[in-house]
Structure 1
Amino acid sequence: MAIKKDIWRTGLCFAPVDDIVTMGGFSGFDVTWLPDMPRSYQFRADPFGLRLGDNLHLFSEVFDYRDRHGRIEWAALDAKGRVIESRIVLEKPWHLSYPQVFASEGEIWMLPEAFQSGKLTLYRAKTFPDEWEATCDIALGEDVAIDATILNFHGMWWLFYTPLHAVKSGVNALHCAYANRLTGHWTRHAGNPIRVDHASARPGGMAVEIDGKVMLPVQDCVGGYGRGIRPLWLDSLSPASVKISCGPRLNPAPGFKPYLEGLHTLSACGDLTFFDVKKRTLSPNLLMIEARRALRNRAAQRRQDV
């Protein structure tokens, strides 16, 4: 087990994502922070916002090192970014994270990462925000998608993701697929991987159209997981070809101290932007939590083997 552990913190920047990209970071913009989790060694990460009328909603992964199991939390925020109420709205036997939420076709959808299930499942809100029903699995052949990011661009649906096998190999690779309808049939791009680069190939937030081009936030993992975000520009995007250019890395602002060791989600929400930053921590309590979890897992495995 790693000696130091990542602890993430979620913030809300009162600026549109294109201004943050243009300015090269968060300095000069107003930022508010989501409250700390109720217990130590828990965190909130992978934030995605959705505005419905005057109401601002936040969906994020909540994680506890005691069980290393991600769940999806919903929070209602007021105009100043303060939490009005929050609760877990999606939980499965497997880890969930990266809950991209979006409105389309008169419905509200969620596409969370669930690589441990071996599937990428699209959910529809049956009763928003609490009840979600699985609508379909997005079939990507042998690819198991990590951080899948979806976008409708010029009437076609696009999906950007890193395959699990690329993550395990330690070399980030960006793949994409496309479909005429949200629920498929999805076709993997013939040019996959469309980018191979440890510094700019793993999705890290909401893809948006800016000045007629797609901007996909991607993680810079040079020097460690989720060290920064780069804007990846898809200068042209079609089933026939993809042309890409990459912008400079965005880092946590100095005022975010002690959360200066990483930035791995940048999610546009109209004139606002959600993000997360991290610190690395080590303490005897955290080591004890990890040791107890390992013992529980070994005991459970022995019971299964009997």
Structure 2
Amino acid sequence: MSGQIWSIGLAFGASPLALRVPDSPILTKADITDVAADFVADPFLIRLNQSWHLFFEIWNRNADKGEIGHAQSADLRHWTYDGIVLREPWHLSYPHVFEHGGEIWMTPESTDAGGVHLYRAASFPHRWHDEGVLVPGALADPSPLFWQGNWYLFACPSFEKHDDLTLFTSAQLDGGWRPHPAGLLRTADVRGSRPAGRLLNDEGRLLRWAQDCYPQYGTAVRAFEILELNPERYRERELPESPVLVAGGDSWRHGGMHHIDAHRLPDDDRAGWGAAVDGFYVEAQPDGCEC
């Protein structure tokens, strides 16, 4: 038998659609010091007070579920891990962290809890308060976006098959969510449905990232441009640069990649764009192992 061992890297480039994936990751399971970690994945970045903060899933082997960890960096290149910052009785992953209204928020995946929970930073980055459920249901990789005065939430309702994409909308972040009239945006499409990271507003151009789960989960990341988005209508197209992240020959991501969180860097950083990404390699089990 075999298992996917996920690690986290930082990719840089002149465009979020043309990133150079590093030969080595910035964070692996070996860097986790407070729990027995099987892997790290789903990285999200936020920059506050001249520091970069990285939130990500840690699979806690002893708890047999995901928990949210945190690391910090001044330059995106040298990182210090400082522990688990959010754990619940249920599995957590995909810690989509963002700023709105002078507060820091997070909408991690919480399918086992039966809904999308909204968390507010009570003391950033280490203490988080559960503000309640935004949308009920087992919705994988919930990805909120504030666009032209309205909120939108993309998620995958078929989190075992990875082949549907649904959309919700609201006039406010903390309540009033309803299904978008467009309904299921994609159905039975394992190559372009499940969210693969933060939607990107690049000076008015909206980009959506999707997990390509063919022929297996975590194969690649595809890129779509949102052409129309309002409370009544939705339209998108896949970009010619897609897929933007694929498996690599080096050991840490030779199996595949499935996440991106791209940010325009400060003017003094010549790289232009930086993105937190993840990838996996397959760890073969000893012969006869039934684990």
Both proteins in one fold, TM over 0.5: yes
Q: 1:277 aligns with which of 270, 275, 279?
A: 279
Q: 1:260 aligns with which of 254, 264, 268?
A: 254
Q: Deviations over 1:120-144 (max 9, x none)?
A: 110000011111001121124xx32
Structure 1 or 2, whichever has the larger Rg, is 1
Q: Which has the higher helix share?
A: 1
Tell me the percent identity. Answer: 29
Alignment of 1:215-294 (within 5 A): 215-247=207-239, 248-252=242-246, 254=248, 256-271=250-265, 272-284=274-286, 287=289, 290=291
Q: Deviations over 1:15-72 (max 9, x none)?
A: 46xx131x3x526xx6762233238872110000000021110000001445431010
Residues 167 and 286 of structure 1: CA distance in aligned 2, closer, same or farther (over 3 Å): farther
2:110 paired with 1:114: yes
- Paired residue for 1:90? 86
Q: TM-score, normalised by structure 2?
A: 0.87
Q: Residues of 2 paired with 1:138 and 1:285: CA distance?
A: 46
Q: TM-score, normalised by structure 1?
A: 0.83
Residues 286 and 50 of structure 1: CA distance in aligned 2, closer, same or farther (over 3 Å): farther
- Paired residue for 1:195? 186
Q: SS at 2:16's partner residue?
A: helix
Q: 2:159 aligns with which of 161, 167, 172?
A: 167
Q: Deviations over 1:102-132 (max 9, x none)?
A: 1110000111001111121100000111110
RMSD: 2.3
- Paired residue for 1:100? 96
2:49 paired with 1:49: no
Q: Residues of 1 paired with 2:23 and 2:4: CA distance?
A: 21
Alignment of 1:67-86 (within 5 A): 67-86=63-82
2:176 paired with 1:185: yes
The Cα of 1:211 is off from its aligned counterpart by: 4.7
Q: Residues of 2 paired with 1:194 and 1:287: CA distance?
A: 42
Q: Deviations over 1:258-300 (max 9, x none)?
A: 4221111101233221000111112239946x3xxxxxxxxxx
Whether the aligned pair in 2 keeps the contact of 1:47 and 1:265 (CA below 8 Å) is: yes
Q: SS at 1:5's partner residue?
A: strand
The Cα of 1:11 is off from its aligned counterpart by: 0.4
Amino acid at match of 1:147: D
Amino acid at match of 2:282: R
* Structure 2 gap ranges (5+): 266-273
Q: SS at 2:159's partner residue?
A: helix
The Cα of 1:81 is off from its aligned counterpart by: 2.1
